Chain A
Amino acid sequence: MTDTPRTPSQGTPPQWTPVALSRDLAPATAIPVIAEGTELALWRGRSGRLAAWHDRCPHRGMRLSQGFVRDDMLSCLYHGWRYDLEGQCRKIPAHPELEPNKAICVPAWSVTEATGIIWVSETGSGAPPDTGALAPLRSLTVERSEDALRDHLGDGVVIEFDGLHLLLQGLPQGRCVLHALTGPGLDAAGQRAASHRLEALRTRFEDSEDIA
Chain B
Amino acid sequence: MKDCWFPVGAADDIPSAPGRETLLMGEPIRLFRKAGQIQACDAEGRDLPVTVAYDHVWTSLGTPSQPIFAIPEAEEPGRRFVPCGHVRVACSPLRAVENFLDIAHFPFVHTDILGAEPHTEVYRYEVKIREEEDEVWATKVRFYQPQAAKAAEGGQEIEYMYRVPLPTASVLYKTCPSKPEAWDVIAIFVQPLTETTCVAWPWMALYDDTSSQADLVGFQQMIFLQDRAILENQVPALLPLDPGKEIPTRADMTSIAYRRWLKSHDYTYGAQLEAQ
Contact = CB atoms under 8 A, between A and B. Distances in A.
B157 interface: no
Contact of A95 (B102, B107, B121, B246): B121
A8 interface: no
B120 A94 contact: yes
Contacts of A98: 249
Given A80-B108, A95-B121, A96-B120, A66 B233 contact: yes
A79 to B, nearest CB: 5
B250 interface: yes
Interface in A71-114: 75, 77-80, 92-96, 98, 104
Interface residues of B, number: 26
Interface in B24-66: none
Contact of B122 (A58, A59, A95): A95
Interface residues of A, number: 22
Contacts of B236: 61
Contacts of A75: 108
B247 A78 contact: no
B117 interface: yes
Contacts of B230: 62, 77-78
B235 A80 contact: no
A61 B234 contact: yes
Contact of B235 (A61, A92, A95, A104): A61
A59 B105 CA distance: 12
Contact of B121 (A59, A60, A77, A96): A96
A95 B250 CA distance: 8
A175 interface: no
Chain B at the A interface: SS class: loop
Given A79-B108, A80-B108, A94 B234 contact: no
A202 interface: no
Contacts of B246: 58-61
Contact of B104 (A56, A62, A94): A94
B223 interface: no
B235 A77 contact: no
Residue of B109, B118, B248 ringed by the most chain A CB atoms within 10 A:
B109
Contacts of B120: 80, 93-94, 96
B251 interface: yes
Given A93-B104, A95-B249, A63 B122 contact: no
A68 to B, nearest CB: 9
Interface in B226-251: 229-230, 233-236, 240, 246-251
A58 B233 CA distance: 13
A77 B252 CA distance: 16
Contacts of B234: 60-63, 78
B251 A94 contact: yes
Nearest to B240: A61
A146 interface: no
A94 B235 contact: no
Interface in B82-133: 102, 104-105, 107-109, 117-118, 120-122
Contacts of B233: 62-63, 66, 77
Nearest to A59: B247
A93 B249 CA distance: 11
Contacts of B229: 66
A126 to B, nearest CB: 30
Nearest to A103: B247
Contact of B105 (A58, A78, A95): A78
A80 B107 contact: yes
Contacts of A62: 230, 233-235
B235 A63 contact: yes
Interface centre among B108, B236, B250 (most CB of A within 10 A): B108
B121 A92 contact: no
Interface centre among B104, B109, B118, B121 (most CB of A within 10 A): B104
A17 to B, nearest CB: 20
Given A59-B246, A61-B240, A95-B250, 8 more contacts: A60-B248, A61-B235, A62-B234, A77-B233, A78-B109, A94-B250, A95-B249, A96-B120
10 contacts: A58-B246, A59-B249, A60-B234, A75-B108, A78-B109, A92-B249, A93-B120, A94-B251, A95-B121, A95-B249
Enumerate the 9 nearest inter-chain pairs by beta-carbon distance, A residue then B residue, closest first.
Answer: A93-B120, A94-B251, A94-B104, A94-B122, A63-B233, A61-B234, A56-B235, A80-B108, A79-B104
